[in-house]
Amino acid sequence: MAEWKNLDTLTSFDNLQKVQKVNLKEAMSGENGAERVKKYSIPMAGGLSFNYASKQVDEDVLEALAKLAEEAELVKKFEALYNGEIINTGENRLVLHHMTRGQLGNPVEADGVDKRTFYVTQQEKIADFANKVHNGEITNAAGEKFTTVVQIGIGGSDLGPRAMYLSLENWAKKNNAFKMEAKFISNVDPDDAAAVLNSIDVSHSIFVLVSKSGTTLETLTNESFVKDALKKAGLDPSKHMIAVTSETSPLAKSDDYLAAFFMDDYIGGRFSSTSSVGGAVLSLAFGPEVFAQFLEGAAEEDRLSKNENILENPEMMDALIGVYERNVLGYPCTAVLPYSQALSRFPAHLQQLDMESNGKSVNRFGEPVNYQTGPVIFGEPGTNGQHSFYQLLHQGTDIVPLQFIGFKNNQLGSDVVIQDSTSQQKLCANVAAQIVAFACGKSDDNRNKNFEGSRPSSIIVGEQLTPKSLGALLAHFENKIMFQGFVWNVNSFDQEGVQLGKVLAKRVLAHDTEGALKEYSDLLNI
């Protein structure tokens, strides 16, 4: 059984801090840089690769990181997770999101059932339902096909599925896999629901209500908003709505829904894109076959994460370099920079995935830790970001590690040649230029035009963003975050930090307030 120890008690971490720091500007200049780009790369699933040449590592640092991985027993802890040990100590739960896309280890039984069988059964039920919607067996009251699917959820029930849908929308249109347009309602702000409802034909829309407990206030409020709109249109809401929930929730056997598909307590919301939470909306939008390809890419990447050799384990390498940057080099943030418009909401998903998982100041046993844990995550697609916050990244007082994502080919296949190069070539040229500019900088006597360089980055490169490569990309970051939580000895699978605000909001709505809470309530005219 693996031992759970704080990072600052590990001999390997003490040794890591003593390793000589890498001069990145020097390491990435000239032929040295060329050799590093060729050498420091790890193949991933879905035709992707993780290149960390422009990180502040060398053979000595990598050796020290490998020893840290060994002493922290990262592979052993991953094995414990997928073999069904209780890893979520805060809520005393298993952690099984990997099992939605494959069986990594031993069969796991919980709630009296084999969990892999349970997840596959739900996927099969969703596939059958989606196919019946697509072929017209399930229709609206007028016998007409549904053309739009709207997901109603918040947090992990929105961010991940929305990001995945946008990532594949253009690919699906190009590859004759686009079945239904998808929309998303998440914010309890009534303008969100109203804007979506005003943009669709509700008579040809099917709504997916996602709430594990069946009691999520924001989601149920938006459900009422949607039901009112359906009734005003003379429609029966129960003929236009399905539920994704737990088997024990009040939604599970309600006559208010055409069908109910189940999730369980062993998959956190931010890890739920490969469960029924993502499966229902993505299968309706693109077809079950596309969702299956997405799962396949994630499953293949999960298998790579089992490798004990960090030189062959892209997730572990990415995680350990991130720990080195956070706890030795002292960098507080990480920017995720996809050079793909399809990944426009992917950084927002990673914000939740990373910051909700590892934004902890106590260890797995509730004891305060004496070192930094999860970084602040932010990002936008390139090249838009270059004209926004890259100024600070290049010349600001803080060094911010960067994670680029780029593809050699676009999704739609259309392009234009201007000044002897295509748009895609211009996009890729910007990625290459930015990596080198951040690492090597540029000396100038005019200090306003001087670039210090030595700003570290990595890049995940692929041929094209497809369902399979997207699945691999998602699993990469899920597993990276998991490994970092193991190193920091925090519980990456609960999120108590989101609860206090909910409790106080209920008090405000019940007019049970005093002090500053009352004054702010009055200020907002509640």
Q: Catalytic amino acids?
A: 356, 387, 502
Alpha carbons within 13 A on the beta-carbon side of 438: 29
**Bridge partner residues of 451 (DSSP):** 442
Residue with token string 């298998």: 303
3-state secondary structure of 460: strand
**Bridge partner residues of 43 (DSSP):** 49
Cis omega (within 30 of 0) for bond into 383: yes
Please answer whether residues 234 and 242 qualify as being in contact, where contact means their C-beta atoms are separated by less than 8 angstroms. no
- From CA 226, how far away is CA 231, in angstroms rounded? 9
Residue with token string 């690492």: 439
3-state secondary structure of 241: strand
Q: Token pair of 124, please?
A: 């099969």
Cβ neighbours around 376 below 10 Å, total: 13
What is the H or E stretch that residue 60 is in?
helix 59-71
Supply the DSSP symbol for 339. E
Q: Token pair of 500, please?
A: 């206090």
- Return the sign of the alpha-carbon dihedral for residues 286, 292, 293, 298: positive
Please give the distance of CA 412 from its chain centroid, rounded to a whole number.
24
- From CA 117, how far away is CA 114, in angstroms rounded? 5
Backbone φ and ψ for 54, nearest 5 degrees, come out as: -95, 25
- From CA 501, how far away is CA 495, in angstroms rounded? 12
What letters, b where the CB count within 10 A reaches 16 and e where it falls short, cover 119-137? Answer: beebbebbbebbbebbeee
Q: How far is CA 431 from CA 175, 340, 352, 372, in A?
A: 27, 11, 25, 30
**Bridge partner residues of 155 (DSSP):** none
CA angle 28, 32, 38 (to 5 degrees): 90
Q: How far is CA 169 from CA 151, 164, 343, 483, in A?
A: 15, 9, 10, 31
